Amino acid sequence: MTEIIVYHNPACGTSRNVLALIRNAGVEPHVIEYLKTPPARALLAALIARAGMTPRALLREKGTPYHELGLADASLDDDALLDAMMAHPILINRPLVVSPLGVKLCRPSEAVLDLLPEPQQGAFAKEDGERVIDEHGQRVGAP
């Protein structure tokens, strides 16, 4: 059984689409609602590193206290940004997905397809109606 972890926000359409794409591959992921159960600081730092990102690249601006906290200040170091994410988990962009194939911030939602070792099992459309997977389990518009 493939072990996949999703750091999920059920209020986020992209996060819901990612979760649905994982399930469309026949995998039931371990879902962590990170606003209720944020990752420990060391784990978050490790996930960011494994994803090949920086803490700044994982920061979410929209709908967060990003501007009020002055996080746009380019002089803030990684530790300061991690501290802000620990104090305000809403600053952690989502969904962050961990699979045997890597760690990735899955925006847009179809980015999760690169992390799924199992093929899609049928057609899939995002909540907005955009077709991502056809009836044969193949990515729409894929080369």
Active site (catalytic) residues: 12
Name the H helices within the chain: 13-24, 41-50, 55-58, 78-87
8, 28, 99, 106, 107 from 12: Cα distances, Å: 8, 19, 20, 12, 11
Q: 94 and 9 in contact (C-beta within 8 Å)?
A: yes
Residue that has been written with the tokens 């899955």 in this structure: 106
Q: Tell me, what DSSP letter sits at residue 39?
A: P
Ranges of beta strands (E only) in 77-127 are 96-99, 102-105, 124-125
